[in-house]
Amino acid sequence: MNSINNALAAYQTALNRIGSAGPQTQQMTSQVAVDNSFTDVLKNVVDETVYAQKQAEITTINGIKGQADIQDVVLAISNAEQALETVVAVRDTAIKAYNSIMQMNI
């Protein structure tokens, strides 16, 4: 029971860290907004997602080895999951738009 309470406390701490990660997210968004083409924007988003996935994997391995704090592991996994969900949502929207265009009468 004590380990469950510790895990819940660690998860709550990680959620608080996620909430305070706003300036980093805003900085990445402004960097993406500088690019002119849609292709560049998509490439940047995919690159950031791959980077987040790799960071989550490295942090998780370090956590298993006992070299990383549980809050850092949860935060890294949460960031990677959020980035992946964003990419999937953009992909789904692009596919829907393409299908709508293909169904239009000319």
pTM (two decimals): 0.58
What DSSP string runs through 25-66?
HHHHHHHHHH--SHHHHHHHHHHHHHHHHHHHHHHHHHHHHT
What is the model's pLDDT at position 77?
A: 92
Write out the residue range of the structural domain in which residue 75 sits: 2-102
Looking at the structure of the chain, the number of domains it has is 1
As a 3-state breakdown, the chain gives helix, strand, coil percent values, each rounded to 5, of 85, 0, 15
> How large is the greatest C-alpha to C-alpha distance in the chain, in angstroms?
66
CB 76 within 8 A of CB 55: yes
- Residue 81: which residues within 8 A CB-CB, separation 6 or more? none
Reported as a single tens digit per residue, the pLDDT across 36-76 is 687 888 888 888 999 999 999 999 999 999 998 899 999 99
